Structure 1
Amino acid sequence: MSYGRLAGLPHVDERTPAVLVLAGPVTRDEVTGLCDDVRALLEVTGAGVVVCDVGGLGPPGLAVVDLLARLELAARRAGGRIRLRDPDPALHALLDLVGLRFQMEGEAEQREPALGVEEEVEPGQPAV
């Protein structure tokens, strides 16, 4: 029995996200092209995540925050997300300061505690 070739890249699936390497500094004119690249990577790979390697962006600033926010917006509009790889600790702090939360590569996802799990209480006190 023979099967037809599947569409897309055979070695990429939902567990193998595409990688977009961002080398800085990125000018305002380049932002639109990078947003197009994120949308194209999501479409071509079928993955729900594009990993953005931000290690080469240079010193963090509001221009970098703006770029990442626009890339995340483009990815969400295309039905996906971006995940940051190798962020500078200062960039991580700046993103926290402005209230933007990005998934970082290597970080465990934050989830709700399992149902039915109770916190430990002092002896003699009723469980909450």
Structure 2
Amino acid sequence: MSSVCPVGLPHVDAETPAVIVLPGPVTWDDVAGLCERVRTLLAGDGARVVVCDVGGLGPPGLAVVDLLARLELAARRSGGRIRLRDPDPALLGLLGLVGLRFQVEGQAEEREPPLGVEEAVETGDPAV
């Protein structure tokens, strides 16, 4: 049996983000390597989002917050973003407490209401 080789470039799904699994616990020595890996993933295949699987990081603490902030900074400097996969609700609470907001995989993006939308007033309503 023989098969014909396809002509042209193979199909690449540009919407599929790169994924990095963050093992726990992460030491200070691991942070620089993880930041470099995020930069490499964003530069290599043209992805604009790197999904960080944080399910195995263990209990949330300021070290995890610091790691995620550094990864986001590295991603933004490379023209991309990170998205969290499987975050602990306590981690999301801690990130919100320190003022960091990350997109979480599976959640819709928050958007501002459209401009120029006015509430309709019925003619019989008294003015408030």
- Relative to the length of structure 2, the TM-score reads 0.85
The runs of 5 or more residues in structure 1 that have no matched partner are: none
Q: Aligned residue for 1:35? A: 35
Q: Aligned residue for 1:57? A: 57
**Greater Rg, structure 1 or structure 2?**
2
Aligned amino acid, residue 112 of structure 1: E
SS at match of 1:106: coil
Q: Aligned residue for 2:91? A: 91
Aligned amino acid, residue 74 of structure 1: A
- Relative to the length of structure 1, the TM-score reads 0.85
1:28 Cα offset (Å): 0.3
Identity of aligned residues (%): 72
Given that 1:12 and 1:45 are in contact with CA atoms closer than 8 Å, whether structure 2 keeps it comes out as no
Distance 1:120 1:96 in 2: 36
Q: How many residues of Structure 1 are paired with residues of Structure 2 in the alignment?
A: 121
Distance 2:47 2:102 in 1: 17
SS at match of 2:115: coil
Residue 12 to residue 29, structure 1, CA distance change in 2 (3 Å): farther
SS at match of 2:38: helix
